[in-house]
Structure 1
Amino acid sequence: MAPQKRGGVRKDVFAAESWYLKSLDAGDSWAELNLAMLYVEGARSFSADQLQDAIAILNVHAERGDGYALMTLGRAYAEGGGVATDPEKALSYFREAVQGQPMAAHTALGNYFYDGKGGAVDYDLAFEHFSVAAELGSTMSQNNVGWMYQNGLSVERDYEKAVSYYRSAIDGNFAGAFSALGILYREGWGVPRDYTEANRLFKEASERGDLSGKANAAWMMIHGLGMPENRTEGLALLEETATLDDHDGTYYLAVLLEEGEIVALDLNQAKALYRIAAEKGNLLAKAALKRLAK
């Protein structure tokens, strides 16, 4: 699934911190809020004291109805960024943010219900919110609506609609949509099967930092689909993406382990990797676990 997860420590986070601190010293009225948002969004990179101060600043701005502060607090309570996770508070902040930040808030609400943050997955509400955000121009939500049409979640499976939504997200340069459309070309779902086009899309996704694109390119390389077969390089690339917690890379590696293809057959390790991929939302991994449980 497309929801974006926060990464680890990045040098540009600290560069942004330095810039905002200079802006704050220069009297920039927005710098305080931007700095607080940076601390919470990059919670793994900063100290507990910095996060505590940031949450206090965000609360002040949220009480004034600032949409950015409300969205940041919602994400913090949904994911545990500087505060203990609290799904009910997250939901409240996202709903309050709809008026000021409708596109971002509906996207967040879609992710909230898709992931079952409140305790139960609700694909109907997820689709409803993603659809609103997609109409407002959210490329992430366009991608997610495409995903739901592709997999028949809340709606009847419709590959042609999935293709349309993925193309809209690609027009907005959303990296994950390149991978998603590449899979449709590889499988011939909603479009004629075209390995060359699939590989081009996976390459575009990889160049934009999408690990799923890299994992799918590795799968194509291992099996010689639209390119010369190169199992050694393909496996190394696949293992790299799995190590970086990409759910597609983890799933594909599990398939190889289950089938004893390229690597030694290891059903227990395959199951372990399927579980990891399933926890990250990979539907094929969930199906594999059900199959192996019989």
Structure 2
Amino acid sequence: MPSSFSNIISRSKSVFSKFGGKKATEDVGLGASCFKRGNQYLFGRQGHPIAEKLAIAQFQKSASLGYHAAEAVLGFCYEFGMGVETDFVRSEEYYLQAAKHGEGLAMARLAFLRKYGRPNVKIDRAEAEEWTERIKHQPAAIQWIMDAASLDHHAAAQYALGVCYHDGISVEKDEMTAFRWYKASADQGNPRGQGILGYCYGEGFGVTKDEIEAMRWYRLAAKQGETVAIYNIGYCYEDGIGVEKNPTEAVKWYALSAEQGNAFAQNSLGYCYEDGIGITQDLMKATYWYKLSAEQGYPWAECNLGYCYQNGIGMPKDDTLGAFYYRKAALQGHARAQHNLGFCCQNGIGVTKDEKEAVKWYKRSAERGNIFAYHSLGYCYQNGIGVEVNEQEAVFWYFLSAEENHAPGQLSLGYCYRNGIGVPKNEKEAVKWFKRSAEHGNALAQNSLGFCFEEGIGIDKDTTRAVYWYHKSAKQNNPWAQCNLGFCYANGIGVEKDNVKAVVWYRRAAAQNHARALDKLALHTQEGLGVEKDPVAAFELFKQAAESDHLSAQFHLANCFEKGLGCPLDLTLATRWFERAALAGCRNSHERLRLLIVRECLLSPGISTEEDLIYGGLIIGHSAPAA
């Protein structure tokens, strides 16, 4: 009995499977038939009239029967407004559903949408790369697009096929072939074809560069409401590409595109508001547009928004949100965000400090050619931050950065040559890199080059040139250069001696708490050189510099206490400051301390000679005679 029951159940399952399988096969067959008919109506094949709405009905029926190729084509129709109103959100939904079942057309278009976005379709460049990889070197995956473009001469398909050759989706990248398909689409009046053709002419992509022609195509596309073309017109006005540069006109076009939801334009409009380009600066509006763009996943906007949060631009400062947005952009492969996230990890800004994690992000950024990351990696290898110290590796990264005309990289490479870090010491080579960095406006390099000219390090001594470079650096508010320039004026080095000008530059550096400048300014104030004599003010300046561990200032402060210059006489404090400076290597302080102790102790009962002081251990720097 149990056995018979089991057989009945088994036969029932078999019959169910048989008829279920038959039903599924019939549905697939009907779905394929509807799909074929839909293509006939869409393109007017095999004598059928072009009837896009009838095509949509057939594709929808096919999709409802589980025919996934129809879902992919419905996505295409909604993306390009074929038989339906353009709807990027519906398009994305169909593409995703079809892509889950391996439809190449859907994956090809998702690779595009995730890379470039469309209003209300989120950009995710990491995902774009994944879709591209899944159909890499598989031309059959985009056969539907190829047939529609070449056999049916359909403008939207021609544009889409151009994109495949442009970005290497399913086929090898080929600029000339991409251009040919873009041109075919544009010549039929397709707005997206016209817009991308403008890009080709503007960039010289697959065709001779022609900026005037680029603007012509952009305008044709913009007249049809193509938001990317509208954005590109703004870009051309901002940079003067094919038109006279006009920032105000650029903002007008950016705003027009941004208000229609274009993420690129929203970011650019934010940038214009942030820097006051073509419009009154408004930091709150800048962050408003950055946020809208970032919400659509545009990595540049995410990076910019992170920067605004990190620096309190247009919003309250928030290091955590700054690092959050850097990470979002970094995960999409945005090189600058990767570097900035590395910097956050290195210094514990908005994230837990993790130097190894910092190096990881610097390396990712460097792999994408970011020159800031080259320099940061060099610094990490030089100083053992997140990696073992490796001076040769540091020089390698500094050199890469320097060769790309990154001024900080050139400066760091110059320091390596000057000090023999990772390379043989070579002062002439150091000067070469200091000069390149200085000519790019780096204030630290300008000061270093000035010092080389002043001292004749790696170059013929030339105090006039020294002053020239000190002045360049000082005008950028570099306190070392300001102090050096003050010293030149105070001593007539490369310029006519002028204590008034010396004081001016010392004051500028002192305002930045530069210890050497504070000490020099104090000396001038104490003696009344270029400024009214004021011992009290001088004493306060000496004290400020001495507390910053400046040896010369410690000596001068001790002198003030010993002699009551600008302060009450206090030999205990004088002794303390002379001793502090002496222990740090100041010979003058050592001698003054010795004399001060001798003078004071000779007045003490029971001590009458220096020999007594030596045996008593009260004079530093001497040893008692051997027994």
The alignment's TM-score, normalised by the length of structure 2, stands at 0.38
Give how far 1:37 is off. 3.8
1:38 aligns with 2:189: no
Q: Secondary structure at the residue paired with 1:98?
A: helix
1:11 aligns with 2:138: no
Query: Partners of 1:195 and 1:162 in 2: how far apart?
Result: 18
> What is residue 42 of structure 2 aligned with on the other side?
none
Native 8 Å contact 1:218 1:237 kept in 2: yes
Distance 1:159 1:238, change over 3 A: same
Q: Which amino acid aligns with 1:21?
A: Q
Stretches of structure 1 that go unaligned for 5 or more consecutive residues are 278-285
Distance 1:243 1:119, change over 3 A: farther
Q: Which amino acid aligns with 2:320?
A: T
Distance 1:161 1:11, change over 3 A: same
Native 8 Å contact 1:169 1:177 kept in 2: yes
Query: Partners of 1:156 and 1:144 in 2: how far apart?
Result: 15
Residue 170 of structure 1: which of 265, 270, 294 is its match? 294
Give how far 1:119 is off. 8.2
Residue 74 of structure 1: which of 194, 198, 210 is its match? 198
Query: Partners of 2:239 and 2:369 in 1: how far apart?
Result: 17
Q: Which amino acid aligns with 1:35?
A: L
CA RMSD of aligned residues (A): 3.8
Give how far 1:151 is off. 2.1
Q: Secondary structure at the residue paired with 2:440?
A: helix
Distance 1:41 1:226, change over 3 A: closer
Native 8 Å contact 1:182 1:202 kept in 2: yes
Q: Which amino acid aligns with 2:440?
A: L
> What is residue 280 of structure 1 aligned with on the other side?
none
> What is residue 136 of structure 1 aligned with on the other side?
260
1:117 aligns with 2:241: yes
Query: Which segment is superposed worse, 251-260 or 108-117?
Result: 251-260
Residue 269 of structure 2: which of 124, 145, 149 is its match? 145
Deviation digits for residues 55-93 of structure 1 (CA, Å, limit 9, x no counterpart): 444334323322122112111112222112221211111
1:220 aligns with 2:344: yes
Query: Partners of 1:111 and 1:288 in 2: how far apart?
Result: 29
Query: Partners of 2:236 and 2:185 in 1: how far apart?
Result: 23
Q: Which amino acid aligns with 1:218?
A: G
1:251 aligns with 2:372: yes
Query: Partners of 1:240 and 1:141 in 2: how far apart?
Result: 27
Stretches of structure 2 that go unaligned for 5 or more consecutive residues are 1-115, 117-124, 386-390, 409-436, 447-471, 473-627
Query: Which segment is superposed worse, 35-44 or 220-229?
Result: 35-44
Native 8 Å contact 1:20 1:34 kept in 2: no
Query: Partners of 1:60 and 1:92 in 2: how far apart?
Result: 16
Residue 127 of structure 1: which of 251, 271, 279 is its match? 251
Q: Secondary structure at the residue paired with 1:92?
A: helix
Native 8 Å contact 2:344 2:350 kept in 1: yes
Give how far 1:254 is off. 4.1
Deviation digits for residues 80-139 of structure 1 (CA, Å, limit 9, x no counterpart): 221122212111111111112431111111223334434875433322221111111111
Query: Which segment is superposed worse, 206-215 or 23-32?
Result: 23-32
Distance 1:34 1:155, change over 3 A: same
> What is residue 281 of structure 1 aligned with on the other side?
none
Give how far 1:12 is off. 5.8
Q: Which amino acid aligns with 2:183?
A: N
> What is residue 83 of structure 1 aligned with on the other side?
207
Native 8 Å contact 1:77 1:84 kept in 2: yes
Query: Which segment is superposed worse, 222-231 or 103-112?
Result: 222-231
Native 8 Å contact 2:258 2:266 kept in 1: yes
> What is residue 233 of structure 1 aligned with on the other side?
357
Deviation digits for residues 210-268 of structure 1 (CA, Å, limit 9, x no counterpart): 3333221111011121223233431342233133034xxx2365478699876868987
1:195 aligns with 2:356: no
Query: Partners of 2:319 and 2:305 in 1: how far apart?
Result: 12
> What is residue 230 of structure 2 aligned with on the other side?
106
Residue 158 of structure 1: which of 282, 291, 301 is its match? 282
The alignment's TM-score, normalised by the length of structure 1, stands at 0.76
Query: Partners of 2:146 and 2:402 in 1: how far apart?
Result: 51
Deviation digits for residues 22-79 of structure 1 (CA, Å, limit 9, x no counterpart): 444476644344213432455994347xx34x54443343233221221121111122
> What is residue 456 of structure 2 aligned with on the other side?
none
Give how far 1:269 is off. 6.0
Q: Secondary structure at the residue paired with 1:173?
A: coil
Q: Secondary structure at the residue paired with 2:328?
A: helix
Residue 21 of structure 1: which of 128, 143, 149 is its match? 143
Deviation digits for residues 146-185 of structure 1 (CA, Å, limit 9, x no counterpart): 1121222222332111111111112323232222111111
Distance 1:136 1:56, change over 3 A: same
Query: Partners of 2:216 and 2:305 in 1: how far apart?
Result: 34
Which structure has the greater CA radius of gyration?
A: 2
